[in-house]
Amino acid sequence: MSILDQSYKAYSFANHKEVYLALEKCFVFFSIKYYLIGANARDVQLYKAGAKPNRGTADIDFAVMLPDIEKYNELKTHLLNNGFDQARGNLPYRLIYSASNTVIDLLPFGQIAQKSTVQFSERKMGLSVVGLHEVALDTEVFEHPEGFTIPVTPAHGIVILKLISWSEKPERTKDLMDIKALLDAAWELYVDEIFVENSEYSDLFDDDFATHIVAARVMGRKMQNILNRDAHLKTLIINELEKELNDKAASKSQYIIAGTEQSMQEIQLIFNALLMGINDK
C-alpha cells in the first residue's frame, strides 16, 4: 500500500512509528530478538486482510527474548535513559514513551523464564509467558507503510496467545473478540495459499466447501505447527477449545455474536473447524 493511501491510519500500528523506531534502536543495540504481540499485531493482520479493526488500543506490547533478569533490567535502564519512563503502578514490565505518553509492555521470554514464568524481584511478582517462545519461531516481517519493518506475530500465533490469555483470565472477553476478528479475516489472509497449484490444503475442497470453515481449519493447521513444539501447550489449547464447544451452558461465544449476523451455532462450527485443523494428521 502506498504511503499516500491514508486508510492504514485507522489501525493502531499507524500511530507509533516514533516509538517502534526508538525501541528497535535499543533492541538492536542489545542484539535482542523481539516481536510485536497484542492489539498492534492483531491490527497488522487485519490490515493485511483488508478488514477493519474491531477495537482500538493505545498500548504497544513487545515480546523480548532474554537470558536472565539482569539483562532485562539492563535493557530497562537503557530505555529509561533514552526517552522512556517507568509507568505508575505495580507492573515492572510497563514503561511510558515520554514524547507521546504511549504505554509499552515489554514481556520477557526465553531462558529468563522458569516453568513459563518470569519473576520480577523488585515487585516480587511473577508473569506468565506461556507460548511466547513457541510463537517466536513463527514470526513474520511486516513492512510498515511508512518505510520500515517490524517482526510481528502471525495471525495463528495471535490466536494461540489469545487462547492462553483467555484460559488464564476467562473474564477477558476481549480476547475472544480478537480471536473472532482474526477468524473472520482468515480467508483473506490465506486465500492465495489455498488456491495455489498443488496446495497443501487441496484436501479441504469438497461439496460442503465454505470459505469461513476452510479458513478456520487452515488456521488450525498453522497453529498445529507451533503447538507441536510443546505437548503441554498443545493440550492447553485443545482443552480450551473443547471446553468452549462442549459446555454450552458456560459458553463464552454469546459475547461475540452481538452486532453480527452469525448465530451461536455458526460460531461453534468455526471453532470446531479450528480444532479439527489442530488435530489434522
Q: What is the pLDDT of residues 104-144, one digit of tens each?
A: 999 999 999 999 999 987 667 899 999 999 999 999 999 99
pLDDT for 194:
93
pLDDT for 206:
82
What number is the average pLDDT over the span 10-29?
94
Q: How confident is the model at residue 2 (pLDDT cuts 50, 70, 90)?
A: very low
Q: How confident is the model at residue 249 (pLDDT cuts 50, 70, 90)?
A: low
Nine cell digits for residue 34: 523481539
What number is the average pLDDT over the span 217-241?
96
pLDDT for 172:
79
Residue 1 has pLDDT above 50, yes or no: no
Query: CA–CA separation, 88 vs 107, rounded Å?
Result: 17
The residue segments making up the domain with residue 259 are 160-279
In a domain, 269, yes or no: yes
On whether both 11 and 146 belong to a single domain, the answer is: yes
Give me the chain's average pLDDT, please: 90
Q: For the range 15-18, what are the long-range contacts, defined as Cβ-Cβ under 8 Å and sequence gap of 24 or more?
A: 16/40, 16/60, 16/100, 16/102, 17/144, 17/146, 17/148, 18/97, 18/99, 18/100
| Count: domains in the chain | 2
Alpha helices in 15-118 (DSSP H): 17-29, 38-49, 69-80
Domain end: 153, 172, 196, which one? 153
More confident residue, 82 or 253: 82
pLDDT for 150:
97
Domain end: 107, 130, 153, which one? 153
Task: Look at residues 274, 261, 269 and name the one whose alpha carbon lies nearest to residue 217.
Answer: 274
In a domain, 261, yes or no: yes
